[in-house]
Structure 1
Amino acid sequence: MFSGIVESVMPIESSEELTNAYRIKIKKPSEFNDIKLGDSIACDGACLTVEAFDDQTMTFALAAETIKVLEWNPQSWLGKQVNLERSLRFGDRIHGHLVTGHVDSLGTVTRADLEGESFFLDVNVAETILPYVWKKGSVTLNGVSLTVNELQGSVVSVCLIPETLKRTNLGLLKPGSRINVEPDYMARAIQRSLEVRKG
């Protein structure tokens, strides 16, 4: 479980094709000095398991489902700057909202405008997640916990402050960019409970 508060942004340094999977190496932040094998780290919002690490890199495997959801393309992802967050400890303050690291789908950026100190980002999201998104609710984009400013049709609008731009890769996005989306898991759980009761 994560909070959607990015700790570091680091590049993907290598990608190795396996049988129906990929193994990637991401540059290890110097502050990640407490990680262990098997730890969960959110990489652009996708919960990945540490397979190996040294002073310079962390190694993860992308399985078939992750590859499908993220539309993994090693040519476009190699060198990409990735938002990183270590998993929460019990007792930690939660400054964002509870995030599972289970990316639901990709969205497409339709607006990315810096106006003064504010960065306005509009994302066209999959219709399947619209029941779990509402104005002033929470949504996770590339692993970043954000508040929904507006919801018009299938377009989610958020506004980023300078600190968020400085600490994440969201400021690199342009119209047409693809972005990892995870809706509020509590809303999904409530919706599923209601469906079962009706069922």
Structure 2
Amino acid sequence: MFSGIVESVMPIISSKELHNAYRIEIKKPSEFNDIKLGDSIACDGVCLTVEAFDEVTMTFALAAETIQVLQWNPQTWLGKKVNLERSLRFGDRIHGHLVTGHVDSLGKVTRAELLGESFFLDVKVAETVLPFVWKKGSVTLNGVSLTVNALEGDIVSVCLIPETLKRTNLGDLKPGSMINVEPDYMARAIQRSLEVRKD
């Protein structure tokens, strides 16, 4: 589990195609000095397992399901800077909201505008996400925990403060950019519970 509070932004420095999978290397942040093999790290909101690491890099594998959801294209991802967050430990403060790292789908940015100190981001989300998104609820975009300012049709609107822009890659987004979307998992769990009761 994660909190959606990004710790570092680092580039993907290599990508290798495997059989129905990819292996990637991401530059290792200097503060990630406590990671171990098998640890979970959210990379742009995607929970990936550390396969190997050294002083400079961390290695992860992307499985078939992840590739399908992200529409993986190594040519566009190589060099891409990704938001990184280590998994939560019991007793940690949760400054965002509980995030699983199981990205539901991709969203498409329709507005990315800096007005004064605020950055306004509108994202067109998949129809499957809509039941779990509401005004003042939480949504995770590229691994960042955000509050929904408005929901108009299938457009989710959020507003980013300067600190969020400084600590994440969201300020690099432009209209047409694709972004990883994870809705509130508790809302999904409640809906599933209601569905089971109906059966």
Q: TM-score, normalised by structure 2?
A: 1.00
Amino acid at match of 1:186: M
Which residue in 2 is equivalent to 1:27?
Answer: 27
Post-superposition Cα deviations, 1:97-146, rounded to whole Å, max 9, x if no partner, equal: 00000000000000000000000000000010100000000000000000
**Residue 175 of structure 1: CA displacement?**
0.1
Aligned counterpart, 1:99: 99
Q: Name the structure 1 match of 2:162.
A: 162
- C-alpha displacement at 1:161, in angstroms? 0.1
Q: How does 1:34-183 map to 2 (within 5 A)?
A: 34-183=34-183
Which structure 1 segments of 5+ residues have no match?
A: none
Q: How far 1:52 sits from its partner (Å)? A: 0.1
One-letter code aligned to 2:107 = G
**Residue type of the alignment partner of 1:173:** L
* Residue 66 of structure 1: how far off its partner (Å): 0.3
**Distance in 1 separating the partners of 2:148 and 2:41:** 24
Report how far residue 5 of structure 1 moved.
0.0
Q: Secondary structure of 1:127's partner? A: coil
Give the share of equivalent positions with the same residue, in percent. 88
How much is the aligned-residue C-alpha RMSD, in angstroms? 0.2
Amino acid at match of 1:84: L
Query: For residue 27 of structure 2, what is the amino acid of its counterpart?
Result: K
User: How far apart, in 2, do the equivalents of 1:49 and 1:17 lie?
Assistant: 17
- 1:91 aligned partner, one-letter code: G
Structure 1: which amino acid aligns with 2:192? R
The alignment partner of 2:113 has SS state of strand
Spell out, residue by residue over 1:56-79, the C-alpha distance to the aligned partner (whole angstroms, 9 max, x if none).
Answer: 000000000000001110000000
**Structure 1 runs of 4+ with >2 Å offset:** none
* Corresponding position of 2:188: 188
- Between the two proteins, the alignment pairs up a number of residues equal to 199
What runs of 5+ residues in structure 2 fail to find an aligned partner? none
* SS class of match (2:129): helix
Instruction: Return the alpha-carbon distance in structure 2 between the equivalents of residues 9 and 71 of structure 1.
Output: 21
SS in structure 1 of the partner of residue 131 of structure 2: helix
